[in-house]
Amino acid sequence: MSSIEQLKHLAQSVGVIPTLVIDDLDHAVPLARALNEGGLSVLEITLRTPVALQAIQHIREALPSLMVGAGTVCDVNTAAAACDAGAQFLVSPGYSAALGSYCRKQQQILIPGVATASEIMAALADGHDFLKAFPAAVIGGTRWLQAMRGPFPAAQFCATGGISNNEVADYLSQANVLCVGGSWMTPADAVKNKNWSHITALARAACQARNSARHTPT
């Protein structure tokens, strides 16, 4: 099984991928541990803060069983820095041929962001079939995903952007959605106050929402 197929399998298994904005490096490992204790083992660290790359390194070292990726990867230089930090996959809000080419040469997993049919076509043409539907709530949510399923049966999605816990089941019930991403499991006040038990509880609630989407009534 290729690395991208392994990630797709894992993403579908966990169902929910937290997207983390880490401002304080001391929060990185406790935050990741709290989410993992709640049942979430794949994390996306957004590269929006000065400590984000170090956070990836610290989490990889302290919690090697987790799958840790870098988000907000918008160019080749950022991709290279994320790879050097140990990111196991990269997530971009959009897609460029240069970024796709770099990731292929480095044999690094890229999950490109798409919001239109043309962007899906460009990503698929370059060999990327696991895509980030972003910003999901703005572009049409589950109705958009349903509309894309017909013309693009090979495309599979991580839906991210404006999703709340009470919408997880609706998204995951779509045949072309492997997982959803979001930050609702890590509210800023809980992180600031180091309320790790609350974050673990939110992660468990996300897992329960995932399970409800997969439950088949007898």
Active site amino acids = 44, 132
* Strands of the sheet with 16-20, listed across from one edge: 110-111, 90-91, 67-71, 42-46, 16-20, 177-182, 156-160, 130-133, 113-114
- Tokens representing 122 are 């460009």
φ and ψ at residue 71, rounded to 5 degrees: -110, 175
> What is the secondary structure of 19-32 as a DSSP string?
EE--S-GGGHHHHH
Whether residue 132 contacts residue 145, with contact meaning beta carbons closer than 8 Å, is answered with: no
